Amino acid sequence: MNPYLEILRPVNALMAVITIILMALIAGSSDPSVIVASAVVFIATGAGNAVNDYFDHEIDAVNRPSRPIPSGRISRRAAGIYSAALFFTASLLGLYLGTIPGLIVVSSSLLMVYYAWSLKKKCLVGNVTISFLTGLSFVFGGVVVGEVATSIYLGFYAFLMTMAREIVKDMEDVRGDRLNGASTLPIKYGMRVSGILAAVFMFSASLTSPVLYFMGIFSALYLPVLMAAIAVFLRAALMILREQDVETASRVSRLIKTGMAVTFMAFAAGSRTLTGILMGLI
């Protein structure tokens, strides 16, 4: 893959774009601003990933040597300039959408830089920051399509599940992080405590998530697809409770991402727009 595309982590950036599309499906909005908001989230997330790799070049040389900077396919300087240009573009587009969307983009861009520069190394603070930003992506979509309350509920669930995944990722990255003087949860309190906390986040998010149906946010079509996602999350939680080695953490991190993708399908199936289309077909 072209290294300038690879450094954006396009799969993650596209997953973030899905939050905007889901909010549009929930609101029943086909406003052109949804396209601009999707571009903003793709560019901002990509910029966040690029600046993260800029600051993490030493850690990644140990944990992820094949990434564009440690493998020598992009210089650090080029990655720094590239991410700054992308943050600037996302902020301009955000401001074009309005003052509140613009402020969300500018503040989340600054937070992503601060995370990469400093917060990442701090126990739990870094995890909370990334999880907050992930949840904020739903809220950004909610502001653009005028469904703020619903977006806060979905953002809250994204926050809980991202907390689980970020803790598991810290367990996976413990070797390089320790060499770089980071003070992540597994470094400070050990792999077992981290595994238990990650499982608590997974259990609490998945077991309470049917409430979104009972609140009237989603139709009944949400529930059967959600059951598949819950099965994935419960399997991930049991795996990390059973074993807390780096290899298991890596598998659990991938499994949680799969569960997130299935949850997106549940949100889409239960949304006003897709439910209407599916019911019309029957």
Ligand X SMILES: CC(C)=CCC/C(C)=C/CC/C(C)=C/CC/C(C)=C/COC[C@H](O)COP(=O)(O)O
The residues that touch Mg ion, with contacts defined as CB under 5 A, are 52, 56
Q: Does 16 bind ligand X (CB under 6 A)?
A: yes
Written as six digits, the tokens of 123 are: 């126990």
Residue 106, Cβ neighbours under 10 Å: how many?
A: 17
Which residue, chain included where needed, has tokens 């405590």? 193
Closest CA to 103 of 72, 139, 156: 139
140 binds ligand GRG (CB under 6 A): yes
- From candidates 38, 45, 127, 194, binder to ligand X by CB under 6 A: 45
Q: Is 252 in the site for ligand GRG (CB under 6 A)?
A: no
Does 162 sit near ligand X (CB under 6 A)?
yes
Which CB atom, from 137 or from 271, has the smaller least distance to ligand GRG?
137
For residue 184, count other CB atoms closer than 10 A to its CB: 24
Name the one range near ligand X by CB under 6 A: 9-17, 66-74, 75-83, 143-151: 9-17
Whose tokens are 């600037």? That residue is: 88
Footprint on residues 257-276 left by ligand X (CB under 6 A): 260, 263
52 binds ligand GRG (CB under 6 A): yes
Nearer to Mg ion, 51 or 197 (CB): 51
Task: Say if CB 19 and CB 137 are below 8 A apart.
Answer: yes
Own/partner contacts of 96-101, CB < 8 Å, gap of 24 or more, are 96/36, 97/33, 97/36, 97/37, 97/40, 97/144, 100/143, 101/37, 101/40, 101/140, 101/143, 101/144
Residues that bind ligand GRG (CB under 6 A): 12, 16, 40-41, 44-45, 48-49, 52, 56, 104-105, 108, 112, 120, 130, 133-134, 136-137, 140, 169, 173
Residues that bind ligand X (CB under 6 A): 9, 12, 15-16, 19, 45, 130, 134, 137, 157-158, 161-162, 166, 169, 205-206, 209, 229, 260, 263
